[in-house]
Amino acid sequence: MKITSIITCGAIYGLTFFSNSQEELAKSMARGKELYKESCITCHLANGEGVKGTFPPLAKADFLTKYPEKSIRAVKFGMSGAIKVNGVDYNNAMPPSGFADDEIADVMNYIRNSFGNKNTQPVTEKMVAAVKEK
């Protein structure tokens, strides 16, 4: 009887935690989508495909998965120099977004879970704050 109660309580807690974290991620992504439309869409386009050779894609972008900290740093501080995304070389400049840490987390959650990207670990404001300019 005790084991059944423990398992039931654990299942309820797990479902509640999972549901709340998914709900928070969905809210973050919705806020991030609006920020994306305001600031990122001009270069990376509405479908996240960018402009080959000029502005890297965000759609199914291996760079986002391989280098999450570099991706956050690019949004936070801007980026210049050569990078490779999905096997294509890019060497352009991206200005800093001017977003606050919580906004960077939101736009990263949107990008990392849109355009064919599937990332299970949400980006948090704390993670963004930990990323320093080099």
Exposure on the CB side of residue 72, measured as CA atoms within 13 A? 23
- Rounded Cα distance between 58 and 48, Å, is 5
Q: Which residue has the tokens 């990207």?
A: 117
- Rounded Cα distance between 70 and 79, Å, is 9
Length of the chain in residues, anyone? 134
Cα–Cα–Cα angle for 50, 91, 61, nearest 5°?
40
Report pLDDT for 86: 96
81: left (phi over 0), alpha (psi -120 to 50) or beta: left
The CATH number of the structural domain formed by 29-130 is: 1.10.760.10
pLDDT tens for each residue of the chain, 134 residues long: 556 555 544 444 444 444 578 899 999 999 999 999 999 999 999 999 999 999 999 999 999 989 999 999 999 999 999 999 999 999 999 999 999 999 999 999 999 999 999 987 899 999 999 999 87
Report pLDDT for 6: 56
Report pLDDT for 133: 87
Instruction: Report residue 4 as tokens.
Output: 């059944």
- What predicted TM-score, i.e. pTM, was given to this entire model? 0.83
Spatial CA neighbour of 24 closest among 98, 128, 102: 102
Report pLDDT for 108: 98
Report pLDDT for 121: 87
Report pLDDT for 58: 97
Report pLDDT for 13: 47
In contact, 40 and 107? CB cutoff 8 Å: yes
Report pLDDT for 16: 44
CA-based radius of gyration for the chain? 18
In contact, 40 and 93? CB cutoff 8 Å: no
- Rounded Cα distance between 126 and 81, Å, is 27
